[in-house]
């Protein structure tokens, strides 16, 4: 089999080409091919070497098919060191993306040139790792300490022009990259440019206090994560010691992280996200339907966010409301959201205006006759939803996809209100819909294969992470919230305080503790839902006694200024002795003897409640696989990715 690395002479320049589709990943064969090319070039007439890649990108990172396999020589750190000690001037030419190990290879060259559209980065932190082939040592020598720390602890790539400003890229090449890079190498030779081994450069002067500042920032921003702090340690070592010592330290810390639980969890999640996009029983050759226009029924916060999601992806949207006043309010919400995005620097004014121009309003369902997809996003009234779907059935063209954004309701019952149940499914967005990445794609009993395939593909187009769910009350995520919420209330009755429960879960890594979440959502939402349930359906009285009493006392959550906490004008929570009194009185009324509850017990019981329900969901076929549940809970409910998701965490902790 031919090597994915090719070496040729172009005049006095040895050109090393990597051609390993689709992203020129650093497979074992690529590493071997590069080493062979270095050895060949060492003995020929070339005066300089140029490393460039075929296809749509430079080396975009490691070969994920080799994850979890024993490493094979040549190892990447050795390859980078071998590249750096070449006796000939070495230039890397970057296009597309140079990420992780791919960028570490480029950093080992004497000089780097890049297309203006190229992006470079060191995203290893997202897998609970640090750059392990000299990245933590070479980057600060070129870019300085602050830029290096920002690049590696965020894991976010930067554009080539910005990389040029920091010193990570030396030349921007307009036009054809190969011709421009060859001209650049010729100019370097003509100018007598010296070889410039990155490892031999001194780290630029910096404030030594920057390391502690980054550690303090990361302690909050990346709470509980070990890899970002290890990166700071390695960069500090780069600033204080010779390259060889820093590289040895980097390798030691890389190995610790690779063998640690957090990287194992994040690598699991990396593959879980990709597996979630696959539907086991869906034919691979199923054709998808075109979706070039969308309508959203309901202009509230959720409907507006959904409309923005499609507009941001360049898809025209019609927002439908009951009358002109409601439509005006809905469009005003969207205008405010776009203004906020511009103010926060998330969108330019021109981009926001272009997206907003794709959203039009309507109050007449007849205007939906030609749209390809309709998403209903009204409040959770099953009869209203059925009424809307009956109207859509009458006006929408054949082949239009009809979706409900319901969080809980029976998608099959909604589909039955139409004469085309095969065209109906659930598309459950999470609020705020234009920001949250998760999309539960709810497959009804009659949902056609091409409808399902279309919406899974569409999810990627609108930059969502899709997970397929079957039909049940609450689907995957919200169904699991019920026992989680119930266990939270039982912990309060047994002796925990709201602030202890929330702090324990936030220290565990949750984005927000459960009681803060309930206050944010509004305690009256659950209260109203319980009013229509029988005592048997409500379950253990302890699971709702306290929140019911809070609502009846006018404490609805943040929107009323008080719930499980009291809130100031900036919605900052403060523990409230009155809530403690209500909890203690409810416990006495229910005959619960209060005791000391440990933080570990809180975490075990709350995660255990999620896991227990999750196992039932998998057993019932509501979720295709346990890892899909992990994706739902990380992207939709703030479960820490560095724990791998609730199902992975339980399996690795032995949680019964």
294-469 fold? Rossmann fold (3.40.50)
Dihedral sign of CA atoms 309, 310, 316, 322 in order:
negative
pLDDT of residue 1: 61
pLDDT given for residue 48 in this prediction: 97
- 109-131 mean pLDDT: 97
Report the distance separating Cα 441 and Cα 455, nearest Å.
8
- Give the span between the Cα atoms of 329 and 394, in whole angstroms: 27
Q: Return the active site residues.
A: 104, 124
Whole-number Å distance between alpha carbons of 609 and 486: 9
SS (H, E, C) 523-589: HHHHHHHHHCCCHHHHCCHHHCHHHHHHHHCCCCEHHHCECCCEECCCCCEECCHHHHHHHHHHHHH
Question: What tens digit of pLDDT does each residue of 489-541 get?
Answer: 999 999 999 999 999 999 999 999 999 999 998 999 888 878 877 888 788 88
What values do phi and psi take at 181, rounded to 5?
-70, -40
Give the pLDDT confidence score for residue 124 in this predicted structure.
97
Element (H, E) at 29: helix 28-42
The mean pLDDT of the chain is 95
Cβ neighbourhood burial of 89 (10 Å; 0-12, 13-18, 19+) = buried
CA pair distance 63, 76, nearest whole angstrom: 12
Rg of the chain, C-alpha, whole Å: 28
Beta bridge partners of 425: 403
C-alpha closest to that of 377 among 283, 304, 449, 485: 304
Ramachandran sector of residue 106 (left: φ over 0; alpha: ψ -120 to 50; beta: rest): alpha
Averaged pLDDT for residues 642-652 = 95
Residue 534: what pLDDT?
A: 82
Pairing assessment for the beta strands 373-376 and 401-404 based on DSSP bridges: parallel
Q: Which long-range contacts (CB under 8 A, 24 or more apart) does 354-357 make?
A: 355/308, 355/311, 355/312, 356/311
Instruction: Give dist(CA 509, CA 236) in Å, integer.
Output: 26
The CATH classification of domain 477-621, taken from the options 1.10.1040.50, 3.40.50.720, 2.60.320.10, 1.10.540.10: 1.10.1040.50
DSSP string, 628-645: HHHHHHHHHH---GGGT-
pLDDT digits (tens, 9 = 90+) for 178-232: 999 999 999 999 999 999 999 999 999 999 999 999 999 999 999 999 999 999 9
Cβ atoms of 469 and 442 closer than 8 Å: yes
Q: Scan for tokens 């921007």, then name that residue.
A: 172
On the CB side of 611, how many CA atoms lie within 13 Å of its CA? 19
Q: In this predicted structure, what is the pLDDT of residue 536?
A: 83
Tokens 């750059």 appear where? 131
What residue spans of 277-323 are helical by DSSP H?
301-312
d(CA 156, CA 199): 23
Residue 655 has pLDDT above 60, yes or no: no
Pairing of β 424-429 and β 438-442: antiparallel
Name the nearest CA neighbour of 430 among 458, 459, 457: 459
User: What residues are paired with 20 via a beta bridge?
Assistant: none
Q: What is the pLDDT of residues 240-270, one digit of tens each?
A: 999 999 999 999 999 999 999 999 999 999 9
18's CB contacts (< 8 A; 6+ apart) are 4, 5, 24, 30, 33, 34, 51, 52, 53, 54, 59
- Residue 612, both tokens: 């227990």
* The domain over range 5-259 is classified in CATH as 3.40.50.2300: no
Does residue 142 carry a pLDDT above 60?
yes
- Say what the alpha-carbon torsion angle 66, 72, 74, 78 is, to the nearest 10 degrees: 90
Instruction: List CB contacts of 626: < 8 A, sequence separation 6 or more.
Output: 614, 615, 618, 647, 648, 651
Selection from 193, 202, 91, 74 nearest residue 138 by Cα: 202
HEC profile of 405-465: CCCCCCHHHHHCCCCCHHHEEEEEECCCCCCCCEEEEECCCCCCHHHHHHHHHHHHHCCCE
Average pLDDT over residues 314-338: 96
Nearest to 394 by CA among 358, 373, 365: 365
Q: What is the pLDDT of residue 64?
A: 83
pLDDT at 370 over 60: yes
What are 15-72's pLDDT values in tens digits?
Answer: 999 999 999 999 999 999 999 999 999 999 999 999 999 999 999 998 888 887 888 9
Tell me if 628 sits within 8 A of 275, measured CB to CB: yes
What is the spatial distance between Cα 340 and Cα 346, in angstroms, rounded to a whole number? 9
Sorted by where each begins, the domain ranges of the chain are 5-259, 294-469, 477-621
By the 8 A CB rule, do 466 and 441 touch? yes
Contact 631, 270 (CB under 8 A): no
Given a contact cutoff of 8 angstroms between Cβ atoms, the answer to whether 420 and 395 are in contact is no
What would the pLDDT profile of 414-437 be if each residue is shown by its tens digit?
A: 999 999 999 999 999 998 999 999
Q: Name the maximum alpha-carbon separation found in the chain.
A: 91
Angle among Cα 537, 538, 543 to the nearest 5 degrees reads: 145
For residue 656, what pLDDT is reported?
A: 55
């Amino acid at each position: 089999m031919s090597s994915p690395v090719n070496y040729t002479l172009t005049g006095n320049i040895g050109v090393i080409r990597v051609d390993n589709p689709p992203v020129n990943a650093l497979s074992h064969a690529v590493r071997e091919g590069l080493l062979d090319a270095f050895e060949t070039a060492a003995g020929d007439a070339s005066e300089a070497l140029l490393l460039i890649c075929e296809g749509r990108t430079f080396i975009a990172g490691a070969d994920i098919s080799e994850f979890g396999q024993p490493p094979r020589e040549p190892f990447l750190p050795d390859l980078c060191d071998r590249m750096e000690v070449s006796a000939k001037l070495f230039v890397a030419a970057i296009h597309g993306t140079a990420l992780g190990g791919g960028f570490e290879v480029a950093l080992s060259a004497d000089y780097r040139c890049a297309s203006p559209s190229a992006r470079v980065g060191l995203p290893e932190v997202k897998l609970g790792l640090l750059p392990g082939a000299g990245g933590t040592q070479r980057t600060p020598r070129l870019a300085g300490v602050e830029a290096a720390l920002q690049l590696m602890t965020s894991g976010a790539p930067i554009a080539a022009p910005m990389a040029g400003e920091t010193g990570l890229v030396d030349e921007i090449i307009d036009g054809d990259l190969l011709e421009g890079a060859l001209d650049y190498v010729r100019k370097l030779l003509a100018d007598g440019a010296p070889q410039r081994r990155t490892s031999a450069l001194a780290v630029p002067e910096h404030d030594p206090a920057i390391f502690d500042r980054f550690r303090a920032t990361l302690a909050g921003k990346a709470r509980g994560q070990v890899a970002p702090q290890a990166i700071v340690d390695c960069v500090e070592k780069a600033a204080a010691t010779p390259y060889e010592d820093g590289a040895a330290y980097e390798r030691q810390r890389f190995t610790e992280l690779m063998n640690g639980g957090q990287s194992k969890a994040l690598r699991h999640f990396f593959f879980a996200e990709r597996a979630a996009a696959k539907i086991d029983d869906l034919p691979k050759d199923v054709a998808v339907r075109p979706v070039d226009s969308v309508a959203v029924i309901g202009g509230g916060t959720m409907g507006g966010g959904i409309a923005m999601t499609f507009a941001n992806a360049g898809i025209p949207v019609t927002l439908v409301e009951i009358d002109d006043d409601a439509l005006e309010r809905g469009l005003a919400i969207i205008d405010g959201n776009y203004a906020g995005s511009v103010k926060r620097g998330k969108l330019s004014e021109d981009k926001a205006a272009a997206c907003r121009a794709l959203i039009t309003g309507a109050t007449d369902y007849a205007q939906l006759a030609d749209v390809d997809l309709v998403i209903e996003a009204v409040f959770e009234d099953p009869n209203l939803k059925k009424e809307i779907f009956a109207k859509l059935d009458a006006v929408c063209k054949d082949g239009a996809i009809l979706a409900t954004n319901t969080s809980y309701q029976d998608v099959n019952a909604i589909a039955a209100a139409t004469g085309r149940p095969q065209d109906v499914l659930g598309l459950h967005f999470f609020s705020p819909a234009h920001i949250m990445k998760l999309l539960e794609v709810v497959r009804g009993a009659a949902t056609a294969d091409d409808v399902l395939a279309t919406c899974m593909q569409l999810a990627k187009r609108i930059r969502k992470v899709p997970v397929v769910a079957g039909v049940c009350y609450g689907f995957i995520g919200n169904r699991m919230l019920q026992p989680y919420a119930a266990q939270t209330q039982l912990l309060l009755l047994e002796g925990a305080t709201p602030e202890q429960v929330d702090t324990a879960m936030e220290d565990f890594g949750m984005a927000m503790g459960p009681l803060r979440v309930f206050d944010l959502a509004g305690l009256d939402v659950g209260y109203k839902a319980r009013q229509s349930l029988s005592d048997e359906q409500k379950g253990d009285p302890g699971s709702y006694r306290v929140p019911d009493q809070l609502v009846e006392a006018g404490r609805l959550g943040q929107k009323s200024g008080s719930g499980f906490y009291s809130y100031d004008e900036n919605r900052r929570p403060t523990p409230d002795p009155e809530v403690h009194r209500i909890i203690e009185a409810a416990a006495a009324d229910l005959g619960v003897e209060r005791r000391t509850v440990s933080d570990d017990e809180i975490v075990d019981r709350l995660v255990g409640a999620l896991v227990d329900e999750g196992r039932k969901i998998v057993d019932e076929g509501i979720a295709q696989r346990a890892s899909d549940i992990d994706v739902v809970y990380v992207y939709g409910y703030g479960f820490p990715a560095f724990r791998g998701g609730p199902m992975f965490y339980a399996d690795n902790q032995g949680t019964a």
